[in-house]
Amino acid sequence: MKTFNAVKEYISQFYSPSEYINLEQQITKFGKNKELSFYSVLDATPVFRNTLVKYLPLLKAKMDLTIGYGNGIPYDEKVIEFLNSVGIKTVLNGERIYRKKFDFILDCAGANANVFANIGYVELTRSGLYKYNKSSNNVFLADESIIKRLETSLGTGDGFLRGMQHFGYNDLRGKKVVIFGFGKVGQGVAYYAEKAGAEVIIIDDAQKITPPDSMKIIDLRNRQQIDDIIEISDVVVSVTGIAGALANTLDIAKLVASSAIIVNMGIHNEFGSAMPNERVLNNNAPLNFVLDEPTHLKYIAPTMALSNYGILELLNHQHDTAKLITPGDKINRELLRAVKEKGCLQEELEFLEKELKVTF
Ligand SMILES: NC(=O)c1ccc[n+]([C@@H]2O[C@H](COP(=O)([O-])OP(=O)(O)OC[C@H]3O[C@@H](n4cnc5c(N)ncnc54)[C@H](O)[C@@H]3O)[C@@H](O)[C@H]2O)c1
């Protein structure tokens, strides 16, 4: 309990329980579950300050907790130091030399698919799933859910605004913000830019994409209109998910020479080689990655709770032969309903309900 209290006290400097309502409820639930104290768990999800909150239910349940970090999975060195200082074990992800076996592995991108888990794995990303193909144990996939949309669309959109503020752009009122790509992330960026008072113009496939009436759309094949709008835009954001996608969509030289602030929210260089990295905020890396907390806890806490919840699902399926378990609608709605009722994202969740045509 000493370790639980040390972590709880530390995080209370940064977050209030209404920002992690699902994990707060899980602390009580896991704390009452005496069976959990017999098991060991390796939590290998990306280690940042906000991940400390994810560990609280596991500590409250008195599980034997080890934190896996690195080996391709992002982490913050300062948080590893903090964990060591309060006596929580840390190990490098994917080390085959582990003498120890874990009952559960809460993994990310299959980084520990080669480490044996007695009861099973919880995987955070769909893209990491293939690594368990040969696994003889159950895998709970925490990616298959609307909860992820809260993180990817809205959490990243909020990260866009905070990233802009980091560079001193605090006021988007009346500014023309042009967004290339109205996919999962682009929708969140557009939502937050509009909320901040910007005029939002979307560039995407107009035959497939219908943004809200308040936003203008220009078809990605309409080169003339795109080049014209760039000349009078204040901010240009790229978030197509495709390396070099914009090289053939607009006149990059004109964009470079324009007075627009240029932002990349995608993982690749989307502008192609004609764009000098230093012309793009954060040197052409995703803008929100400049922040200590690229995605704020309140958007990511339901995903963290879902990853922990995987332990209970794996226990329920303990005697089934190897299979993939996906979160049902019930748990998705249960977690999001709690956030809607007791958390701090009511307005954002109403937007998501409208977008996805669901009710939590
Ligand atoms: N910054 C972050 O924190 C963060 C978080 C999650 C994902 N991402 C990254 O964001 C990127 C986008 O992810 P997503 O899930 O929104 O992708 P997505 O596939 O859902 O959406 C991409 C959209 O871009 C459009 N598009 C493709 N080429 C285009 C072009 N030339 N011009 C205009 N539009 C074009 C597509 O039609 C589509 O609507 C990826 O690189 C992803 O890795 C970043």
CATH of the domain at 324: 3.40.50.1480
Q: How many CB atoms lie within 10 A of CB 252?
A: 19
Question: Quick one: pLDDT at residue 211?
Answer: 93
Q: Confirm if 93 and 30 have CB atoms less than 8 A apart.
A: no
Tokens of 290: 């400049």
State how far the Cα of 217 lies from the Cα of 285, in Å rounded to an integer: 26
Residue 96 banded pLDDT, cuts 50, 70, 90: low
Q: What is the CATH number of the domain that holds 192?
A: 3.40.50.720
Q: Is the CB of 156 under 6 A from ligand 1?
A: yes
User: Averaged over 27-38, what is the pLDDT?
Assistant: 98
Q: Is residue 81 part of a domain?
A: yes
**Given 3-state DSSP classes, what are the helix, strand and coil percentages for the chain, each rounded to the nearest 5?**
45, 15, 40
Pocket residue to mutate for ligand 1, from 191, 226, 239, 251, most atoms within 8 A of Cβ: 239
Q: Confirm if 46 and 68 have CB atoms less than 8 A apart.
A: no
Q: Is the CB of 249 under 6 A from ligand 1?
A: yes
Residue 72 banded pLDDT, cuts 50, 70, 90: confident
Residue 21 banded pLDDT, cuts 50, 70, 90: very high
Report CA Rg, the chain. Answer: 22
Query: Is the per-residue pLDDT at 98 higher than 60?
Result: no
Report how far ligand 1's centroid is from the alpha carbon of 238 (Å).
8
Report how far ligand 1's centroid is from the alpha carbon of 268 (Å).
10
| 199-204 sheet: strands from edge to edge | 216-219, 199-204, 176-180, 235-238, 261-264
Q: Is residue 147 part of a domain?
A: no
Report how far ligand 1's centroid is from the alpha carbon of 185 (Å).
6
231 with 323, same domain: the answer is: no
Residue 97 banded pLDDT, cuts 50, 70, 90: low
277 with 318, same domain: the answer is: no
Residue with CA nearest ligand 1 atom 38 = 183
Predicted TM-score of the model (pTM): 0.87
- pLDDT tens column, 296-322: 999 999 999 999 999 999 999 998 887
Residue with tokens 């190990």, as numbered in its chain: 91
Q: Confirm if 69 and 36 have CB atoms less than 8 A apart.
A: no
Q: Which of 48, 303, 310 is nearest to 153 (CA)?
A: 303
Q: Please name the residues in contact with 213: beta carbons below 8 A apart, sequence gap of 6 or more.
A: none
270 with 330, same domain: the answer is: no
Choose the final residue of a domain: 255, 273, 290.
290
User: Where is mean pLDDT largest: 8-17, 108-117, 123-132?
Assistant: 8-17
- Quick one: which H or E segment has residue 80? helix 77-85
Ligand 1: nearest atom to the Cα of 186: 16
254 with 317, same domain: the answer is: no
Ligand 1: nearest atom to the Cα of 185: 16
Report how far ligand 1's centroid is from the alpha carbon of 260 (Å).
20
- pLDDT tens column, 234-287: 999 999 999 999 999 999 999 999 999 999 999 889 999 999 999 999 999 999
Q: Is residue 118 part of a domain?
A: yes
Query: Is the per-residue pLDDT at 228 higher than 80?
Result: yes
Between CA 123 and CA 283, with CA 50 as vertex, the angle to 5 degrees is 90
Report how far ligand 1's centroid is from the alpha carbon of 183 (Å).
5
State how far the Cα of 187 lies from the Cα of 269, in Å rounded to an integer: 20
Identify the domain containing residue 235 by its residue range. Answer: 152-290
Residue 192 banded pLDDT, cuts 50, 70, 90: very high
